Amino acid sequence: MTPHPEGGHYVEVFKNKDVSHIYFLLEEHQHSHWHRLAKNETIHFYSGSPLTIFTSINGQEFETNEIGSQNKFMFNVDKNTWFAMKPTGLFSLIGCTVAPAFEFEDLELAPKNWKPSKFYYEL
Domain count, the chain: 1
pTM for this prediction: 0.93
Contact 35, 80 (CB under 8 A): no
Contact 98, 83 (CB under 8 A): no
Task: Give the model confidence (pLDDT) of 17-65 as tens digits.
Answer: 999 999 999 999 999 999 999 999 999 999 999 999 999 998 888 999 9
Q: How far is CA 16 from the centre of its chain?
A: 21
CA distance linking residue 103 with residue 7, whole number of Å: 17
Give the structural domain span for 76: 2-109
Task: Give the model confidence (pLDDT) of 55-112 as tens digits.
Answer: 999 888 899 999 999 899 999 999 999 999 999 999 999 999 999 999 999 999 999 8
Identify the CA nearest to 44 among candidates 90, 13, 89.
13
User: Domain for residue 53, yes or no?
Assistant: yes
User: Domain for residue 117, yes or no?
Assistant: no
User: Domain for residue 35, yes or no?
Assistant: yes
The CATH number assigned to the domain holding 97 equals 2.60.120.10
Peptide bond into 100 cis (omega under 30): yes
User: Domain for residue 77, yes or no?
Assistant: yes
User: Domain for residue 52, yes or no?
Assistant: yes
User: Domain for residue 56, yes or no?
Assistant: yes
Q: What is the DSSP string of 12-53?
A: EEEE-SS-EEEEEEEETT--PPSEEESSEEEEEEEEES-EEE
User: Domain for residue 102, yes or no?
Assistant: yes
Q: How far is CA 77 from the centre of its chain?
A: 8
User: Domain for residue 16, yes or no?
Assistant: yes
